[in-house]
Amino acid sequence: MKKLLSLILLTLFISGCQNKTNYVKLKNQKFHVELAETNESRAMGLMYRKKLGDDEGMLFIFPDEYRRAFWMKNTLIPLDILYFDGNKKLVSLSLNTPPCKNTTTRCPNYPSEGPAKYVLEINAGLSEKYGFEKGDVLEIHRK
């Protein structure tokens, strides 16, 4: 039991450190991001998170550029979902996307308006606050 607890704490520590290592910039606004690069991490996304700092987010990286649709099942906080093409140009925004609290029917999808390779999720309202708009270019900094 002690080894399991130590392993869990080590995993949390490592993931916490990784969270502050990778970041993106959009219109000079910096967000420390967790990377979702595998099918499993993309499927989990920000589910069950109770909070997200205003300088934090999740960057979904897909192997191809395609129209994407995200949903908010089991997501507890409202988010802005920003879709970027292969050139990291903002092609679509889903602003103030609400959590899906309905457990009896399927949650709605929030599709991109064009093909996207990268998707950034940040706290709802930040896109409006910082004036993000179509055509803005995302900088990705990975360690």
- Whether residue 24 is predicted with pLDDT greater than 80 in this model: the reply is yes
Task: Decide if 72 contacts 106 (C-beta within 8 A).
Answer: no
Class of domain 2-141: mainly beta
Average pLDDT, the chain: 88
| Residue matched to tokens 């970027």 | 84
pLDDT at 20: 59
Residue-wise pLDDT for 91-135, tens only, equals 999 999 999 976 667 889 999 999 999 999 999 999 999 999 999
Domain boundaries, the chain: 2-141
Whole-prediction pTM = 0.84
- Whether residue 50 is predicted with pLDDT greater than 90 in this model: the reply is yes
pLDDT at 90: 98
Strand ranges of the sheet holding 23-26, from the earlier edge strand across to the other edge: 90-97, 79-84, 109-123, 56-71, 29-36, 23-26, 138-141
Strands 23-26 and 29-36, bridge-based pairing: antiparallel
The DSSP code sequence of 108-137 is: PEEEEEEEEEEEEEEETTHHHHHT--TT-B
